[in-house]
């Protein structure tokens, strides 16, 4: 079905820049970059998939069934996204909040051209109809001249809700927690801009440069653009092993190395941040146990501090062995949406989230990733991400955090501003 050729490259970072710039000529682009994080983060250092041969695009109704049929029938590499609102396919829920982006709820495509980078080697894997272009494409990419991005017109973003409204909504969320309706919920607010023209490609390059996260993604499908600096993995399947790495717990960075080390140490010991993380780990364990072999669900890391350019984060790693005869898509359906973006108990949290939030989440807090021909997959969590519809010129990014009984509304608001910092920076040129 595919013809593959492997080439060696000396300067992987330079080649990645050339490859990404070369991709701009195509209608469909999926770029996933681990930004030189260690090999356990991902199977590849970077992946580029371009030029759709087949595709599936649908709303939430029976979306997972349609994806299962597409993935199994195609039996090839497919790339795309699952939006948060697929919750309405999994459970008896609805999404009635404002939506300015109008992204499909699910979108995947089978690329004609696929390029995989790993350990100094580049594999070009092309469908047979275009495999005579492999040699020329590699030479063209290797010699491609990358142009420096010029400054763009600053984009002014507005908050959907005011600071006072945010604080009041957190108090309402806390009322639900104190009544015992939920233990924890992820509350998000969005920032938006209307009638704006941006070059999503260059915005992605700028955001990735200042964030360098392990699950960066740039997606361009028709008019739907995702610019993602995600640090979080949702779920990976490799053979029979499943891995989920929820993030809960955030602290700022400091330019002073001594203070920075102290902030990280305080995060590791913070009882509120730990409790947030542990609650979600329990939820993930419960989700995975529904499709795992008995006794195989394990917590390999609990509340470990990981440091990124913008923030320190508490990350846990949960593994499981998938039960025999469970289809790949079923593993996603069973655990979707991810616990770190919902809360516990999950269904009650999602209902309260829908009631209190002002805008539809769409692709934000969904997932982007890929399936291999054998049914393995790897998906991130769409956070620290800018979404842009180039047809209606609407731009949005959302930030949020976990609310628990110990949450201080003022501190939660400050955490949102911290998470929004990099996205504001690249949009405003400041």
Give the model's confidence band at 309: pLDDT under 50 very low, under 70 low, under 90 confident, else very high. Answer: confident
- Domain segments of the chain: what residues? 2-428
31-52 pLDDT, tens digit each:
999 998 864 567 899 999 999 9
114-155 pLDDT, tens digit each:
999 999 999 999 999 999 999 999 999 999 999 877 777 899
386 - beta bridge partners?
A: 227, 397
Contacts of 123 (CB under 8 A, 6+ apart): 4, 5, 6, 7, 115, 116, 117
Q: What is the pLDDT of residue 38?
A: 66
CA–CA dist 428, 152 (Å, integer): 9
Q: What is the pLDDT of residue 39?
A: 45
232 is annotated as an active-site residue: yes
**In this structure, are residues 366 and 84 in contact, taking their beta carbons and an 8 Å threshold?**
yes
Residue 62 CA neighbour count, 13 Å, CB half? 4
Q: What is the mean pLDDT of residues 10-19?
A: 95
CA–CA dist 67, 92 (Å, integer): 19
* Higher-pLDDT residue of 152, 1: 1
User: What average pLDDT is seen over the chain?
Assistant: 95
User: What DSSP state is assigned to residue 153?
Assistant: P
Q: What is the pLDDT of residue 204?
A: 96
Q: What is the mean pLDDT of residues 327-337?
A: 97
User: Pick the catalytic residue: 169, 248, 360, 419?
Assistant: 248
- Largest Cα separation within the chain, whole Å, is 65
248 is annotated as an active-site residue: yes
> For the chain, what percent of residues have pLDDT higher than 90?
94
Q: What is the pLDDT of residue 41?
A: 60
Give how far the C-alpha of residue 385 lies from the chain's centroid of Cα atoms, to the nearest Å: 8
21 CB neighbour count, 10 Å cutoff: 17
CA–CA dist 78, 370 (Å, integer): 6
Q: What is the mean pLDDT of residues 154-161?
A: 95
Q: What is the mean pLDDT of residues 2-7?
A: 97
Give how far the C-alpha of residue 204 lies from the chain's centroid of Cα atoms, to the nearest Å: 14
Q: What is the pLDDT of residue 104?
A: 98
pLDDT surpasses 50 at 329: yes
Length of the chain: 430
Residue of 90, 96, 87 whose CA lies nearest to 363:
87
386-406 pLDDT, tens digit each:
999 999 999 999 999 999 999
Q: Of 149-153, 340-344, 369-373, where does mean pLDDT reach its minimum? A: 149-153
171-208 pLDDT, tens digit each:
999 999 999 999 999 999 999 999 999 999 999 999 99
> For the chain, what percent of residues have pLDDT higher than 70?
99
CA–CA dist 232, 366 (Å, integer): 11
2-428 carries CATH number 3.60.120.10: yes
Give the model's confidence band at 430: pLDDT under 50 very low, under 70 low, under 90 confident, else very high. Answer: low
User: Pick the catalytic residue: 45, 51, 184, 232?
Assistant: 232
Q: pTM to 2 decimals?
A: 0.96
CA–CA dist 269, 312 (Å, integer): 13
55-102 pLDDT, tens digit each:
999 999 999 999 999 999 999 999 999 999 999 999 999 999 999 999
């Amino acid at each position: 079905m595919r013809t593959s050729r492997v080439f060696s490259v000396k300067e992987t970072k330079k080649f990645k820049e050339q490859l990404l710039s070369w991709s701009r000529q195509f209608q469909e682009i999926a770029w996933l970059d681990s930004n030189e994080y260690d090999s356990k983060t991902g199977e590849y250092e970077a992946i580029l998939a371009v030029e759709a041969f087949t595709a599936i695009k649908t709303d939430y109704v029976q979306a997972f069934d349609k994806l299962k049929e597409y993935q199994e029938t195609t039996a090839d590499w497919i790339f795309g996204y699952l939006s948060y609102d697929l919750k309405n396919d999994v459970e008896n829920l609805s999404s009635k909040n404002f939506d300015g982006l109008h992204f499909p709820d699910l979108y995947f495509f089978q690329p004609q051209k696929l390029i995989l980078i790993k350990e100094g080697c580049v594999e070009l894997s092309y469908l047979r109809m275009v495999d005579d272009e492999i040699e020329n494409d590699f030479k063209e990419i290797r010699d491609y001249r990358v142009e420096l991005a010029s400054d763009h017109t600053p984009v002014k973003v507005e908050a959907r809700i005011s600071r006072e409204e945010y604080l009041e909504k957190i108090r309402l969320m806390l009322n639900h927690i104190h009544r015992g309706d939920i233990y924890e919920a992820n509350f998000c607010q969005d920032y938006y801009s209307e009638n704006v023209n941006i070059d999503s490609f260059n915005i992605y390059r700028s955001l990735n440069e200042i964030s360098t996260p392990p699950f960066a993604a740039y997606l361009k499908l028709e008019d739907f653009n995702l610019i993602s600096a995600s640090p979080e993995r949702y779920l990976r399947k490799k053979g029979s092993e499943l891995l989920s790495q929820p993030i809960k717990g955030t602290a700022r960075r400091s330019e002073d190395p001594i203070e920075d080390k102290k902030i990280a140490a305080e995060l590791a010991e913070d009882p509120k941040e730990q409790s947030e993380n542990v609650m979600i780990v329990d939820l993930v364990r419960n989700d995975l146990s529904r499709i795992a072999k008995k006794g195989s669900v394990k917590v390999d890391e609990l509340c470990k501090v990981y440091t990124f350019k913008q923030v320190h984060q508490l990350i846990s790693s949960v593994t499981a062995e998938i039960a025999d005869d469970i289809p790949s898509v079923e593993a996603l359906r069973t655990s979707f949406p991810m616990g770190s973006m919902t809360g516990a108990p999950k269904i009650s949290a999602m209902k309260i989230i829908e009631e209190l939030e002002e805008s539809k989440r769409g692709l934000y807090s969904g997932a982007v990733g890929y399936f291999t021909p054998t049914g393995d997959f790897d998906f991130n969590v769409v956070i620290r991400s800018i979404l842009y519809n180039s047809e209606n010129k609407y731009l949005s990014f959302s930030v949020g955090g976990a609310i628990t009984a110990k949450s201080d509304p003022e501190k939660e608001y400050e955490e949102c501003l911290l998470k929004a910092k990099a996205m504001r920076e690249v949009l405003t040129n400041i």
